[in-house]
Amino acid sequence: MNAPLRRVGVVAMILFGLLFANLNWVQAYKADEYRNSDYNGRVQVAEYERERGKIVAGGKVLAQSKATNDDLKFQRTYPFKETYAHVIGYKPVNLGDIAVENYENEFLAGTSDSLFGERFRDMWRNSKSPGGNVLLTLSPTAQETAVRELANNNVGATRGAVIALNPRSGAVLAMASMPSFDPNPLVSHSTKAAQAAYDKLLADPKKPLLNRALAETFPPGSTFKVIDSAAALEAGLTAQSELTGGSTYKPPDTSQVIGNAPGVTCPNKITLKQALTVSCNTAFTRLAVEKLGADTLKRKAQDFGFGDGDLRVGQLDDGGVRVAASQTGDIKDPDGTDDLPALAQSAIGQANVRMTPLQGALMAATVANGGSQMRPYLVQVLQGPDLTTNHYTASPRELRRPVDPQVAATLQDMMISVVENGSGRKAQIDGYTVGGKTGTAQAGEGVENHGWFIGFVKKGDEPIAAVAVLLQNAGQGGSAEAARIAGQVMKSITRDRGNG
């Protein structure tokens, strides 16, 4: 019986060998994959040993960490829930982090190089100092107004975005995307609950996780006429130059006739300024087809930032959320000549022209800031945990210079006329000069039009804010409602300044 006993011993060895081999597979070969798996709720507990820094805007704490009795010693909380969700993002245990929580992670977590001194001192203190604080450029009043007015729009839009900038610095004052989400369930220490909350948001057809202000492009509609006007002024026209308008215009090579929006009266002879004020489609399409041409129009759009796929909004020096590139499309026939029907459509922000709400705000800001487009940013100050040392302070810088000051001044004047006499009246603010441009963009067959407003507010010669409002599929009255919302947001910024 000894021979089979020995063989049984060999079998046992083989079985244990299989176990050993399999453990090597799981714990060595697959270890990294498993360790970093989305399903793995284990994190370096060490990351939660240190109190994560706060995210603050205008004195309000938007994100903070509270001590728990868990193994993960701090729980991230977002007291304002939906209001700032797209701006600050979230830092979950098991999911991917986004936005400020993502690109300022090292500083917030206290592991960045600039906080080396703090960590060095910790070695003698027997306690872990918290991470650094991130101070944002956001105006809480403007942000809350933007969120509230978006939600209470009177055209029944359920999706939309607002973004407001300081034209002189590029600082983001408000950035809202509707619908939003509550980031708190996502940072639950129960990874199962967090994943379930995330999956639910992901499955929502209205895409609440999407930051529409930066990450998605829409046809700009008539707001694109600001770029037509800039190109026309640079081509030698003045605000008073006469254009050919009329009730309809049929571009060459197509049977599709371009008309004006209902209620727009556009005489056969109309000045450039008046054409912008009433938003005359026939005048601008004819101008683009007969005078400007596709190359001029495209170049001007690019001067304003179309086609830029590298822009990030966050910290000026390093990191941020990538902004989707706004596009004009090619506007060319296969033989290299202008595709005139497409050019006509592009001039009024249709065809393949698409822009982000941020791009719209940048255009308005450029006009308000005398032709200089400032690089947009959100992070104002990186503050040490001692609350006194500033490890970084944003120094605004120019991104590009799309038009010279004279053209910018004329454009300002024309856009102010839009708000004072034209389609953007609802954006008016008592005691301030407001300029802007409305837009109604066809969103496709069988769906309601998007409503747009891009504009700026000035006190005397000083530009205070530029804003873009988008109401997705808002339908009738969408652009007027967008103008009203923009007015409310800009008003809140002027009040904010008054108080500050």
Select from 175-183, 189-197, 442-450, 488-496 the region that touches other proteins (CB under 8 A).
Answer: 189-197
Q: Does 253 bind other proteins (CB under 8 A)?
A: no
Q: How far apart are CA 353 and CA 439, in angstroms?
A: 13
Q: Does 42 bind other proteins (CB under 8 A)?
A: yes
Q: Does 34 bind other proteins (CB under 8 A)?
A: yes
Report the nearest approach of other proteins to the CB of residue 94 (Å). 10
Task: Compute φ and ψ for 317, nearest 5 degrees.
Answer: -85, -30
Q: How far apart are CA 24 and CA 268, in angstroms?
A: 82
CB 288 within 8 A of CB 297: yes
Q: Does 45 bind other proteins (CB under 8 A)?
A: yes
Nearer to other proteins, 73 or 332 (CB): 73
**Catalytic site includes residue 479:** no
Nearer to other proteins, 10 or 447 (CB): 10
Task: Compute φ and ψ for 466, nearest 5 degrees.
Answer: -125, 145
Q: Does 22 bind other proteins (CB under 8 A)?
A: yes
The active-site residue, picked from 112, 129, 169, 222, is: 222
Contacts of other proteins in 308-327 (CB under 8 A) = none
Q: Does 193 bind other proteins (CB under 8 A)?
A: no
Nearer to other proteins, 125 or 395 (CB): 125
Contacts of other proteins in 394-413 (CB under 8 A) = none
Q: Does 66 bind other proteins (CB under 8 A)?
A: no
**Residue type present at position 159:** R
Report the nearest approach of other proteins to the CB of residue 58 (Å). 35
Q: Does 238 bind other proteins (CB under 8 A)?
A: no
Q: Does 11 bind other proteins (CB under 8 A)?
A: yes
**Residue type present at position 312:** R
CB 465 within 8 A of CB 456: yes
Q: Does 269 bind other proteins (CB under 8 A)?
A: no
The residue count for the chain: 500
Number of residues that bind other proteins (CB under 8 A): 43
Element (H, E) at 390: strand 390-393
Q: How far apart are CA 88 and CA 267, in angstroms?
A: 49
Q: At what angle do helices 340-347 and 294-304 cross, to 10 degrees?
A: 40
Residue 48 has, within 13 A of its CA and on its CB side, a CA count of 22
Q: Does 20 bind other proteins (CB under 8 A)?
A: yes
Residue 189's alpha-carbon distances to 100, 200, 201, 218, 331, in angstroms, are 20, 17, 18, 37, 52
Q: Does 33 bind other proteins (CB under 8 A)?
A: yes
Q: How far apart are CA 368 and CA 4, in angstroms?
A: 93
Pairing between β-strand 258-259 and β-strand 248-249 as defined by DSSP bridges: antiparallel
Nearer to other proteins, 121 or 192 (CB): 192
Catalytic residues: 222
Q: Which residues bind other proteins (CB under 8 A)?
A: 1-9, 11-13, 15-16, 18-20, 22-24, 26-28, 30-35, 37, 39-42, 45, 69-71, 73, 191-192, 195-196
